[in-house]
Amino acid sequence: MDGGGRLARSSRLSRLQSDLKAVAHAVAALLRERRSRKKQARPQRLVRPEPSRGVIAVLERWLPRRVGVAFTALILLGSAGMGIVKGGHVDEFVQALDDTRNGAANLAGFRIKQVAIAGRKQLTQDEILAIGGITGRSSLLFLDAAAVRDKLKANPWIADATVLKFYPGELQIDIVERTAFARWQLDGHMSVIADDGAVLEPYVARRFLSLPLVVGKGAGERAKDFIALLQRYPQVWSQTRAVALVGERRWNVWLTSGLVIRMPEHDVGNALTMLSQLDQDDKLFSRDITAIDMRLPDRLTVRLSDAAFKAREELLSSKDKKSKKKAGDA
């Protein structure tokens, strides 16, 4: 048993050792295989070709990496701008930008909270604000006072304007209005004009019906001086209904009775003096006449009405018959 037992233990030990060696060899072989597979799977380094010597290669080498992105953004912005221009949306785009910055300024506390307007008579406050382009979205911060003043002065009613901004939210507008001077009729169309001939309104409201009436091309610009001259002769001016410029050279004066006075081109003051004296002495304007012609410097011609002319013809005819009868009796 001694001999047999020791032999049996030694044979088992040697077998275990051989098994462990086999396992160790197998693990080592497996590790070598996996390592070789990883090496084969690893990508090989590519050899970069020699850089080209062209313009693009030079730009890629020397320009910063972000230049391409910025250039692309510029191209996109340019394309968008071209689309806005071609599509006719420039005004809408500018208005949107203006509304955006005004909105930001209003949120920051620069909203127009108070507007003081001085000097207005014919125009309302809302009309003045609309003329100046001031809306509820406007902010005091981005309001261009000079531009508002130019818009106001472009209106025919406004001779001058002053625009002042008082931060954070007060706007003051002082205007000087033109005065309605006369009603001007041209080619059947009536408008209200200032004393310099500027058209204030292309129609005549009821409140302007008492203004003098001037008629004819060029009459608006020249009426101020002629009417000022007429007003120096109350005998004529008090009965004047309208004045008309003829051929842009001389004036006709229409009286309320329908009588028309054809004034000379020159020396109008002496003609008005003569008219005033004749009416005062002989009641010329009350006579049955339709026209007084003073165009010739050495004479005054009157035109009778149809009824007066007929009565005069009948009177002359009867006188002629009487004279002939007397001659026959003799």
Tens digits of residue pLDDT in 237-257: 999 999 999 999 999 999 999
* pLDDT score, position 106: 84
Kindly state the tokens that stand for 16.
């275990």
d(CA 326, CA 104): 108
pLDDT at position 18 over 60? no
pLDDT band at 99 (very low <50, low <70, confident <90, very high): confident
| Least confident among 147-156, 175-184, 317-326 | 317-326
For residue range 208-230, list pLDDT tens digits in order.
999 999 999 999 999 999 999 99
Mean pLDDT for the stretch of residues 53-81: 58
Per-residue b or e along 271-305, where b marks 16 or more CB atoms closer than 10 Å to that residue's CB: bbeebbebbeeeebbebebeebebeeeeeeeeebe
- What is the model's pTM? 0.63
Given a cut of 60, whether residue 149 has pLDDT beyond it is: yes
